[in-house]
């Protein structure tokens, strides 16, 4: 497992240390450790059923860990929930609010449950999520996107230092997703730590600074999104003719390794566009022009060259050894 050291830098808002959870006889969560720092957008990535939601529920004291500690701003969440949770705003799974109350009444309801939230603050968060037009309507008349925004308003009420969003893009249209992304960046820019879980790799890659990858209750890797991606050399796909001669030439070239087809850990969406005889190589992209002229010089026809940018998807498949993401 990859763990980076926290040397100086911004203060840690959320610290999760060696957390394990046993339900029945099964360890649902097996050793989860990571830190989230101030002003950082932290991604929590894993397929469905990997333990993301269980972990999030432990972060907000809905579930007690069997072992390990969770600390928010120095307070143990399970021992001092009253202190720790006042720094946390969260949406666990769907933004579930009272549908028989209006948006405003919902916010008032949650405002009464935390110190220092007055009417002006409620109006402020309504403004932030731009619900002011409909805030006095019953929530049962809201669209999913509006409920999502009300959920975020509710999470922001207490001016949290840590915002936890569980699969926040679920049910949002592309425009809503884009807005959400900008919104989360803005919050992080103001110093809030944001914890976002997702099963969508692209989402995390677009949004987050750092990421923890979880599968089957275990954190497989923690690190900067770019660092993790950089650990993977880029793939270059070649469509060359004649095939065997080209393969031999590539294999002989310094700095290029040809992957046998069964070792290729590429997403199907990428490989679908490949001809049946493509050769998958791992190489630096700076070598491409040199190799192309070499091929041409040797009389090999170059039909296509695809450079595939390294993605978390690749990394994920590598880490989980092919467990499907759905």
Partner 1 sequence: MINLLPLIRNECLKIIKKKRFYVILLILVVLVPMFTYAQMRISERSRDKFNSDWRLEIQQQITDNQNSLSSDRIPEEWKTYRRIFVQQLQYYLDHNVNPNEPSGVTFTREFLDNSVNLFIPLLIMAVASDLVSGERTTGTIKMLLTRPVRRWKVLLSKLVALLMFVSLIVLSVVIISYLISGLVFGYKGFNVPVFTGFQISGDTVDMSTVHAVPQWKYLLMQGGLIWFVSVVVALLAFMVSVLVRSTAASIVVMMAALIAGTILSNMASAWTTAKYLFMVNLGLTGYLAGTPAPIEGMTLTFSMAVLAVWGLISIIISFAVFTKRDILN
Site string for partner 1, 114-153 (x = CB under 8 A): xx--------------------------------------
Least CB distance to partner 1 at residue 116 (A): 10
Does 97 participate in binding partner 1 (rule CB under 8 A)?
Answer: yes
Q: What is the DSSP letter of 233?
A: P
Does 105 participate in binding partner 1 (rule CB under 8 A)?
Answer: yes
In whole angstroms, what is the distance from residue 278 CA to residue 275 CA? Answer: 6
In whole angstroms, what is the distance from residue 103 CA to residue 97 CA? Answer: 9
Residue of the chain from 6, 9, 96, 289 that contacts partner 1 (CB under 8 A):
96
Q: What is the DSSP letter of 62?
A: S
Residue of the chain from 4, 6, 9, 93 that contacts partner 1 (CB under 8 A):
93
Least CB distance to partner 1 at residue 175 (A): 26
Please work out the total of residues on this chain that contact partner 1, with binding judged by CB under 8 A: 34
Residue 222 CB contacts under 8 Å (≥ 6 apart), including other chains: 1, 2, 3, 4, 33, 34, 210, 211, 212, 213
For partner 1, which is the closer residue by CB, 83 or 277?
83
Residue of the chain from 31, 76, 78, 83 that contacts partner 1 (CB under 8 A):
83
Backbone angles phi, psi at 281, to 5 degrees: -125, 155
Least CB distance to partner 1 at residue 300 (A): 59
Count Cβ neighbours within 10 Å for each residue of 80-110 and write b for 16 or more, e otherwise.
eeeebbbbbbbbbeebebeeeebbbebbeeb
Q: Which stretch binds partner 1 (CB under 8 A): 3-11, 92-100, 169-177, 182-190?
A: 92-100
Which residues in the 17-46 window bind partner 1 by CB under 8 A? 23
Which residue has 């009253």 as its token pair?
82
Does 60 participate in binding partner 1 (rule CB under 8 A)?
Answer: yes
Query: Interface with partner 1 by CB under 8 A: which residues?
Result: 23, 54, 57, 60-64, 81-86, 88, 90, 92-94, 96-101, 105, 109-110, 112-115, 154, 158
């Amino acid at each position: 497992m990859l763990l980076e050291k926290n040397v100086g830098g911004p203060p840690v808002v959320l610290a999760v240390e060696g957390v394990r959870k046993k339900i029945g006889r099964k360890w649902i969560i097996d050793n989860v450790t990571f830190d989230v720092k101030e002003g950082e957008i932290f991604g929590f990535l894993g397929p469905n059923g990997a333990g993301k939601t269980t972990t999030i529920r432990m972060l907000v004291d809905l579930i007690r860990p069997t072992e390990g500690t969770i600390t928010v701003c120095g307070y143990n969440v399970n021992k001092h929930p009253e202190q720790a949770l006042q720094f946390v705003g969260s949406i666990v799974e769907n933004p579930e609010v009272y549908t028989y109350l209006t948006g405003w009444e919902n916010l008032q309801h949650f405002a009464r449950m935390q110190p220092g939230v007055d009417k002006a603050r409620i109006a402020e968060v309504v403004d932030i999520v731009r619900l002011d037009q409909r805030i006095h309507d019953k929530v049962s008349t809201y669209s999913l996107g509006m409920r999502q925004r009300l959920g975020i308003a509710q999470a922001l009420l207490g001016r949290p230092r840590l915002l936890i969003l569980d699969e926040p893009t679920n049910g949002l249209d592309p425009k809503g997703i884009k807005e959400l992304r900008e919104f989360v960046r803005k919050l992080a820019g103001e110093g809030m730590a944001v914890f976002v879980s997702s099963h969508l790799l692209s989402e995390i890659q677009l949004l987050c600074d750092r990421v923890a990858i979880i599968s089957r209750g275990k954190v497989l890797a923690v690190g900067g999104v770019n660092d993790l991606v950089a650990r993977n050399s880029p793939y270059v796909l070649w469509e060359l003719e004649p095939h065997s001669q080209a393969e031999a030439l590539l294999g002989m070239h310094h700095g290029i390794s040809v992957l046998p087809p069964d070792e290729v850990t590429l997403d199907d969406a990428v490989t679908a566009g490949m001809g049946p005889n493509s050769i998958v190589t791992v190489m630096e992209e700076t070598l491409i022009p040199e190799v192309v002229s070499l091929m041409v010089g040797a009389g090999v026809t170059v039909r296509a060259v695809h450079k595939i940018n390294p993605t978390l998807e690749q990394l994920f498949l590598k880490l989980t050894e092919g467990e499907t993401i759905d």
